[in-house]
Structures are given as structure tokens and as C-alpha cells.
Amino acid sequence: MTAVRPESGSRTGAATGATPSDSPSVSATGFPTGFLWGAATASYQVEGAATVHGRTPSIWDTFSHTPGKVRNGDTGDIAADHYHRYREDVALMKDLGLGAYRFSISWSRVQPTGRGPAVEQGLDFYRRLVDELLEAGITPVATLYHWDLPQELEDAGGWPLRDTAERFADYTALVAGALGDRVPMWTTLNEPWCSAFLGYGSGVHAPGRTEPAATLRAAHHLNLAHGKGVQVLRGLLPADAQTSITLNLHQVRPLTTSAEDADAARRIDEVGNRVFTGPILDGAYPEDLLRRTSSLVDWDELVKPGDLEAIATPIDVLGVNYYTPTIVSASDGAGDSRDDGHGASDHSPWTGSEDVAFHLAPGQRTAMNWAVDASGLHALLTQLHEEHPELPLMVTENGAAFDDYVSPEGRVEDPERIAYLHSHLEAVRQAVADGADVRGYFLWSLLDNFEWSYGYAKRFGTVYVDYATQRRIPKASAHWYADVIRRGGLPD
Ligand code: IFM
């Protein structure tokens, strides 16, 4: 998001089920009462158990097993073995005092071909996990899709194909039917921008396609899958269950005050953010984006009657993932640094705005080479609140990778992560003070895990995983976070 307003033509009025009077009051610590303190993971990144009980490959199994796609040839075959060690992991969460655990469901485990009936043994894993969480007093927050499309659906055309949205709605019904009585918070999709633009644009993510038109088609069908998914959830879940989507909103900043850089920022905001927030929250795609990409996609053919209404089905909360700001300028054609933080590729993911240059922010960096800048999280939350005052927000991911190691004494000291978390939680607190209705914060990630095309080379966990033994060691930041949770706020 930038300070630049969307073009007129986007309908306003947030499509949410909440009203401002539902907003919780703020406690003495500066965080709202009932604030959810959580941590998150995702199926392919932690579960392992890639072939048990008929689970078939997802696009990430195929991609990671393709030589050259993932650093060191790493795969999610075993990952953090969460599938077998979930009891130990839930016990760990309980020790940390987590109020909520955000996990995702592996579509290939539940419905291996992406069609037809569910595999009960696949659903049973999630039933056991959820029961264990509830027993430990931890709220389960389920994400239906965190990038691991069944390979058979990709073979049929993947997200650029409209039918995939229909398949997602059917899959949603299977999962909601099995877990709807015990999971109170549901997220349809995690970061559909990455699924569409990194999966079909730059190709650094599965399925590794580099087709600009397919990118936009995928984005629309992901939006449609979300809308249809919310409709299915609404029909099956108890009335008080919450529905949401999680977006990795780019906090876009122009490099200079020039009109050209402002225009570059506006365009990246459209193709990075408003391609999702437009239809989901305002019922329309940005007109300028449609115009600029009309040579790639026939939007009148792509967006069928009724699609926009389905996509704008009200949600109860918007999940926001934030790690670092995005700094852009108009390209001077002289080969500006093109590090947009999403992985190197000869193909730009920024369909329709390939000419924009990306710049590294100054200051401290994480192991991902991402700048540490908590002001971006504050700006995102407050801007969303300004544009959609009735929209409850949840920080569904925030955290940092650093080069963690186990000391000879068996400890993992991660002061940089503590500082990162502290500054970002302070940004959340400030956003709440400025009026944003933020309902929770999920640290990414509970465990070190498979960091997509970086494999196991990047450690985001607050709990260290020794992959050779699968031993878990809570890092210093885990103890720090446990203290924050106990206080219900930040230490002085
Ligand atoms: O690991 C990912 C996660 O799967 C989605 N959001 C960003 C994280 C860090 O890159």
C-alpha cells in the first residue's frame, strides 16, 4: 500500500462482517483486550510425511524435486516432521503460552487429486492436531491454502484455469465439514500474490511458470477461489466462526519525491496490493491496472458476471503479513538494482509494470537481505484502517531470518530477532493507539522450516530445529516472546 489513493472507479465500503462497535477495548499494555498472541507455520514447510496415507505430490513437491529450483536440492519430504511430532510441538506452544496457532492444511493430504472425496486419514491428522491444541487451550487458526496445489490440478491448468477456483470451493467444503465444529478462525488463502506472481510470473516459486498473462488469470481465479471459499465456509460454519484472507501487502515507497517515482509506486501498489484488496474489499479491480494489462488479458472475458460479487463476500478480518518495505523508482533504463526481495529471476513478477526499478532500503538487514523497518508495518495497518475503518485486522505473519546456531552450551541466542520482534510489536501497539483495530499477532515462524526456494538455508523459527535429529531448541526470542505473552504487552 502507498499513500497514493486508488483511482476513482474502485467502489469503496469495506466488505466485512464487522462493525466499529465490535472493536475491543485497549488494555493498559496498549494492546486490545482479547488480543491473540500466536505463531504460524504452513503445511509444506513443516509437516514432512510427504507420502503417507495416499498423499500425492503438490506443486511444491514437484518443484523442489526438480534440480536447480531449490537451494541445495532441499525438499519438504521430511521438513520439521511436524506430522509425527505435532504433540511435542503443541506442548512447546503451551510452554510458550501461545494463545493461538496458525497452521495450513495440505490439500494433497486431504484430497490428493484435488477432486472427489476426502481421504479420512488425511483429515484425521488435522483433527488430532486441532484436538491437541484445544486441549492445550490454544486457538486453532486454519489456513486452507498456503501455496501447495495438488499437482494434478496444476497439470490440468493450475490457477490460470477457472476450474481450479471451483475445485478449491469443493475442497473447502470437505475441510470445513470435518473441522468446522472445532476451528473458530479460517483463512482461505495465504499470500495469493506469491501464488500468482511468483508462481506464474517470475517462476521462482512452484509451479515455476513465467507467463505474464497466466499471472493475471491466476490472480483473478485466486480471488474467485477466496470468494467462493468464504461462501462455502459461511454456509457450513457456526455463526460465530471468523473468515479471512491473508495478504502480503507491499508497503510501497517511492525512492524520491519525483512524479515519475510516485507513479512507479502507484503502479506497484496496484499490481502488488490492489489487484487483491480492490475486488475483495471494494468490489472492483483498479481501472488503471485493467487498462495497462489489457493487451495481455481480456478482462471482460476473464471476469464473468457474478465474479466480483462473489469475491467481495464479506470477511470478518483481514490477515496482513509484513516483513520489509518495498522501495521503487521509475526505471532509468540503466540497470538499476532490481532486488525486489522475492528472489532472482530473469522474468519480472510485476506484470504490466516490468519497467519499475527496486531498491534496497538502507540500514540493518536480515538473512534474507530484507531491511528491518518496523515503520512499514505501522504505515500498512494505519492506511488500511483509514481506507477501511470497519475492517478488523490481524498480523498473520511477521518475523525475521537470521543465521542462528547452537552454542556449545546448547543455547540459541538471537538478539537481532528479539529486536526485530520488539520494534514490530511496538509498531502494532502504535497503530492500535492510532485507531487501527488489530486483533492479533502471529510470529513467523514457530519452527525453523523449509523456506521455499531457499530450502533450509534460512531460519525464521523462534524455535530452532536441528534437522539431523529433529530436536527442538527454543531460541532466546521464544523465551522473550513468552514473557511478552505473559505480560500481554512489551517489556519496558
Ligand atoms: O516462509 C514464508 C511464508 O511461507 C509466507 N510468508 C513469508 C514467509 C517468509 O518468507
Q: Which atom of ligand 1 is nearest to the CA of 248?
A: 6
Instruction: Give me the pLDDT at residue 6, please.
Output: 35
Report the Cα–Cα distance between both ends of the chain, in Å, rounded: 31
Q: Could you confirm whether 354 is annotated as catalytic?
A: no
- 492 is a domain residue: no
CA nearest to 14, candidates 316, 255, 402: 316
Tell me the HSE value of 136 on the side-chain side, using a 13 A CA sphere.
25
By most ligand atoms within 8 Å of CB, the mutation choice from 460, 462, 465 for ligand 1 is 460
Name the strand (E) or helix (H) holding 175: helix 163-179
Q: Whose C-alpha lies nearest to ligand 1, atom 5? A: 191
**C-alpha of residue 343 to centroid of ligand 1, in Å:** 12
Q: DSSP letter for 6, please.
A: P
Q: Whose C-alpha lies nearest to ligand 1, atom 4? A: 42
Burial class (CB in 10 A: 0-12, 13-18, 19+), 452: buried
- 11 is a domain residue: no
Distances (CA, A) of 171 to 125, 150, 197, 283: 16, 11, 23, 25
Q: Which atom of ligand 1 is nearest to the CA of 452?
A: 1
pTM: 0.96
53 CB-near residues (< 8 Å, 6+ apart): 109, 119, 121, 122
Instruction: Give me the pLDDT at residue 427, please.
Output: 98
**Domain encompassing residue 51:** 32-487
Query: Pick the catalytic residue: 47, 132, 154, 191?
Result: 191
Q: Could you confirm whether 397 is annotated as catalytic?
A: yes
- 2 is a domain residue: no
By most ligand atoms within 8 Å of CB, the mutation choice from 104, 366, 420, 451 for ligand 1 is 451
**C-alpha of residue 451 to centroid of ligand 1, in Å:** 7
Instruction: Give me the pLDDT at residue 338, please.
Output: 52
Q: Which atom of ligand 1 is nearest to the CA of 399?
A: 9
45-78 pLDDT, tens per residue?
999 999 999 999 999 999 999 999 999 999 999 9
Instruction: Give me the pLDDT at residue 24, please.
Output: 86
Q: Which atom of ligand 1 is nearest to the CA of 368?
A: 10
Over the chain (492 residues), what is each successive 10-residue block's mean pLDDT?
A: 39 42 84 98 99 97 98 98 98 98 98 97 98 98 98 98 98 98 98 98 98 98 99 98 98 97 98 98 98 98 98 98 96 58 90 92 94 98 98 98 98 98 98 98 99 98 98 98 98 86
344 CB-near residues (< 8 Å, 6+ apart): 204
What cell was used for 223?
Answer: 480471488
Count of structural domains within the chain:
1
Query: Pick the catalytic residue: 47, 154, 397, 451?
Result: 397
Instruction: Give me the pLDDT at residue 342, please.
Output: 85
Task: For 299, list phi and psi in degrees, rounded to 5.
Answer: -65, -30
C-alpha 254/C-alpha 235 separation (Å) is: 43
Instruction: Give me the pLDDT at residue 7, please.
Output: 39
Pocket of ligand 1, beta carbon within 6 A:
42, 45, 191, 321, 397, 444, 451, 460
**C-alpha of residue 323 to centroid of ligand 1, in Å:** 9
- 23 is a domain residue: no
- 9 is a domain residue: no
- 412 is a domain residue: yes
Q: Which atom of ligand 1 is nearest to the CA of 451?
A: 1
Instruction: Give me the pLDDT at residue 232, please.
Output: 99
- 13 is a domain residue: no
C-alpha 69/C-alpha 77 separation (Å) is: 15
Q: Whose C-alpha lies nearest to ligand 1, atom 10? A: 451
| CA dihedral of residues 175, 180, 186, 188 (deg, nearest 10) | 30
- 6 is a domain residue: no
Residue 243, SS3 per DSSP: strand
Alpha helices of 315-414 — where are they, by DSSP H? 375-387
Distances (CA, A) of 66 to 361, 371, 382: 33, 31, 42
By most ligand atoms within 8 Å of CB, the mutation choice from 444, 447, 456 for ligand 1 is 444
* Domain CATH for 109: 3.20.20.80
C-alpha 244/C-alpha 394 separation (Å) is: 9
Q: Which amino acid is at 236?
A: L
C-alpha 77/C-alpha 81 separation (Å) is: 9
Assess contact for 388 and 10: CB atoms under 8 A: no
